[in-house]
Amino acid sequence: MEHYYSPSGDVSIRELETVRSIDEATASRFALPPDMTAALEAADGQAGLDPSSVLKRFTASGLSQYNERRDAFGKAGTSGLSRYLNLGALSARTVYEAVLGKPGSESWIRQLAWRDFYLYQAVYNADFFSYEKRYDLSPLTGRYFEAWSRGETGVPIIDAAMAQLNQTGELPNRLRMVAAMFLTKNLLCPFTLGEAYFRKQLADYDNTLNRGGWLWSSSLGYDAAPYFRIMNPTTQSAAHDPTGAYIRTWLPRFAHLSDREIHHPASHAIVDLKASRARAIEVYKGILGYNK
């Protein structure tokens, strides 16, 4: 990446020549969802934070531990920069140059590259914004969507993740994947419902990146997760937060449970993880045409 990288220039935004008008077809294809305004307003609620200060703080104290802590739900190991990148308050070049060569930068730069991966898909993959029209999603229903959105599934890490999202607009990337895959696979819900819900709730919402993540989790789109890959929320929780600190924070009613017990589904969980996984594999095998 360094070999092909072209450093940022010093041209001010007022000196840039921008597109004055966009043809109707292009505007329609890349139009933001009607309800994106709420997400932008939520992100604007953090306007009091200085993006440059957040970047300096991360490079000084968080970057070196990023690779070890980025998936640790209970340790707040993410950079906190996504909202500024998504809104344009910080450019990708600015943050790239700020971390380049510093201990821990390689892992974080890989995550930065994933942003471009989805942005390029949005431009060059004609189906990126219409995969739900390419496949017959009628075997999927919204039966459990409300329980998922309210954090009432009975699966601790899912309910804790939704509690954090609903209360703060924040959610670590791995938990976004776990929650999305649980909704689309274990609960057999169309990804479009979850995509729209994240759109309303995320403080760092980005239309393209959000869709890319949901396509990946639901095994649709380019380079998506194979239909038979289904994250087990209990395993993910135990692996990335062994002591259950994250669940204890967002679901204090479970604080009395042991480090082992706290990760397991409650007796009233809306689905059995093993049975729902097997069912999801068969359903998505049919949706994607592997039964033919």
What residues form the annotated binding site for FAD?
Answer: 66, 78-82, 108, 111-118, 204-206
Cα-based torsion angle of the residue sequence 109, 115, 121, 123 in order, rounded to the nearest 10 degrees = -110
How far, in Å, CA of 167 to CA of 151, rounded?
Answer: 11
Can you say which residues are annotated as belonging to the binding site?
Answer: 66, 78-82, 108, 111-118, 204-206
How far, in Å, CA of 68 to CA of 178, rounded?
Answer: 19
Q: Which helix (H) or strand (E) holds 221?
A: none
How far, in Å, CA of 256 to CA of 258, rounded?
Answer: 7
Cα 100 vs. chain centroid, distance in angstroms?
Answer: 24
Cα 172 vs. chain centroid, distance in angstroms?
Answer: 7
How far, in Å, CA of 130 to CA of 68, rounded?
Answer: 36
- Joined together, the tokens standing for residue 12 give 């001010």
How far, in Å, CA of 159 to CA of 244, rounded?
Answer: 13
- Joined together, the tokens standing for residue 9 give 């220039």
CA angle 153, 155, 158 (to 5 degrees): 85
